[in-house]
Amino acid sequence: MGLIQNILAIIVVLGVLITFHEFGHYWVARRCGVRVLRFSVGFGKPIWSRVDRHGTEFAVAAIPLGGYVKMLDEREGPVPDEQLDEAFNRQSVWRRIAIVAAGPLANFLLAIVAYWALFVAGTTTVAPVVGDIAPDSPAARSGLQSGQEIVAVEGGEVRSWDEINLRLIARIGASGELTLQARDDAESEPREHRLPVENFLVRQDPPQPLASLGITPWQPRFPAVLGQIVDGEAAAEAGLQPGDEVLAVNGNPVDEWMDFVSVVRASPGETLALDVARGEERLTLNLEPDPREIEDGATIGYVGAGVVPVEWPEEYHREIRYGPLAAMGQAVMRTGEMTVLTLDAIRKMLIGLISPSNLSGPITIAQMAGDTARTGLETFVSFLAYVSISLAVLNLLPIPVLDGGHLLYYFVEVVRGRPVSERTQAFGLRIGLALVATLMLMALYFDLMRLW
């Protein structure tokens, strides 16, 4: 069922992003007087199509991994004399720039609309209150204490752990000090804390900014009460049931859920004696965690059980909501921040500060799309906005075959006063195709490694 949800979620994400991207090209092309022959979502043989009164064929193709807008162009076939003024290649360089740039700009616009909707509807998050501080860590040396709420990072206001992580990830490679502002309670004044760092998060895969600083987010106590039991796994075979509370393992008391998880992960293939409370009953059950290999090659125990969710105290809830006008400003700011973060991540990957294994291909994106869809509409829309920004940024890179490569040629034409030669463009196309194919293969390789 999870695989089907992932597939459906990635189809929805790609379908929305591709449609907006290609519609940007189509809409501006039509307004520039260019004849559009086909608007296709997907590649390959069309599974549905229709032709409008302007002669444009709208199609949905079988392979939903892209799309294209085909315009009348003398370079791609003969054009009747009476339609020459509608050919793309006959347009002024500024019109061609507008048509090509419209696709990525449509993706930026989609992100702004998505964030605007989230800010108007309101998003609920939990306050970024510090839990444990690791001894002798940067956080400990700065004087940050358990129970404080972080309100700013590097001078920028933050209201959730997600915002904190984004600001910290933007500082990958930093050496010196990171500044946080934290307050003891809602009534107290924030105090500044300077956390010493050296080559912060360099080549960490994946980046773990909070753990690297020695910060563990506060969370309510989770008693070791089972909420879900996966059929056919070790917990079900041992006779455990939803609602059971694990009191002790091998005679050692279990105070909360993570105590139980730690023992299970450390005991692959071993038999554990569980003291279990089932209502008024007290049972002793034998549980043998199945060995399971994780990404770094280590083997852990797995039993196929989840915990009963625990409600966060009301004072830890934070709602972020704006009026329609203020939300537009916030949406533009968030889109700008995510764009800068994406560009900075590409730069740091090229100079070696970020491991290339952080590249994500279709498999990882499908998993993330499915996970966010299962989490809720709010998370899914936020994910859609981020992927839309990433698609826009990648398309604007000056690589021939991408929109950014075409824009590069057109801006060179503006400077030189004449188009780049067909020979140069053909050579650049081969280089661009090689670069894009290499990136796609690398992303797919890292996807498969994550699954393996």
- Separation of alpha carbons 357 and 349, rounded Å: 10
Query: CA dist 425 to 219, 270, 325, 401, 422, Å?
Result: 56, 64, 45, 10, 5
Q: State yes or no: pLDDT of 295 exceeds 60.
A: no
Task: Map out the domains of the chain as residue ranges.
Answer: 103-122+322-452, 123-219+311-320, 226-309
Mean pLDDT, residues 391-400 taken together:
92
Q: State yes or no: pLDDT of 120 exceeds 90.
A: yes
pLDDT band per the 50, 70, 90 thresholds, residue 71: very high
Backbone φ and ψ for 387, nearest 5 degrees, come out as: -65, -35
Q: State yes or no: pLDDT of 12 exceeds 90.
A: no
Residue 206 tokens, joined: 């994946």
CATH fold, domain 226-309, is Pdz3 Domain (2.30.42)
Q: What is the pLDDT of residue 366?
A: 66
Q: What is the pLDDT of residue 358?
A: 67
Output 241 or 436, whichever has higher pLDDT. Answer: 241
Are 123-219+311-320 and 226-309 the same fold in CATH?
yes
SS3 assignment, position 382: helix
Mean pLDDT, residues 266-292 taken together:
92
Q: What is the pLDDT of residue 245?
A: 92
Instruction: Tell me the CATH class for 123-219+311-320.
Output: mainly beta
pTM for the full predicted model: 0.78
The residue annotated as part of the active site, out of 22, 86, 149, 163, is 22
Output 369 or 396, whichever has higher pLDDT. Answer: 396
Q: What is the pLDDT of residue 194?
A: 94
User: Which segments of 258-417 are extended strands (E)?
Assistant: 272-278, 281-287, 290-293, 299-302, 305-307, 317-320
Output 316 or 214, whichever has higher pLDDT. Answer: 214
Q: What is the full DSSP assignment across 192-224? A: EEEEEESSTTTT-SS--HHHHHTEEE------S
Q: What is the full DSSP assignment across 408-423? A: HHHHHHHHHSSPPPHH
Mean pLDDT, residues 244-258 taken together:
91
Contacts of 359 (CB under 8 A, 6+ apart): 349, 439, 442, 443, 446
Q: What is the pLDDT of residue 174?
A: 87
Q: What is the pLDDT of residue 144?
A: 92
Q: State yes or no: pLDDT of 201 exceeds 70.
A: yes
Q: What is the pLDDT of residue 350?
A: 83
Q: What is the pLDDT of residue 293?
A: 77
| 407-428 pLDDT per residue, tens | 999 999 999 989 888 888 888 8
Q: What is the pLDDT of residue 231?
A: 87
| 424-450 pLDDT per residue, tens | 888 888 998 888 888 878 777 776 776
| 79-90 pLDDT per residue, tens | 898 899 999 999
Q: What is the pLDDT of residue 450?
A: 62
Percent of the chain at pLDDT above 70?
92
Q: What is the pLDDT of residue 54?
A: 87
- Whether residue 280 lies in the annotated active site: no
Q: State yes or no: pLDDT of 352 exceeds 50.
A: yes
Query: CA dist 328 to 20, 121, 244, 246, Å?
Result: 19, 12, 48, 49
Inter-residue contact 276 to 293 (CB < 8 Å): no
Q: State yes or no: pLDDT of 374 exceeds 80.
A: no
In the structure, how many helices (H) and strands (E) does the chain have?
A: 12, 18
Q: State yes or no: pLDDT of 8 exceeds 80.
A: no
What is the overall mean pLDDT for the chain?
87
- Cα-based angle 60, 65, 67 (whole degrees, multiple of 5): 50
| 262-276 pLDDT per residue, tens | 999 999 999 999 999
Mean pLDDT, residues 89-114 taken together:
96
Q: What is the pLDDT of residue 1?
A: 46
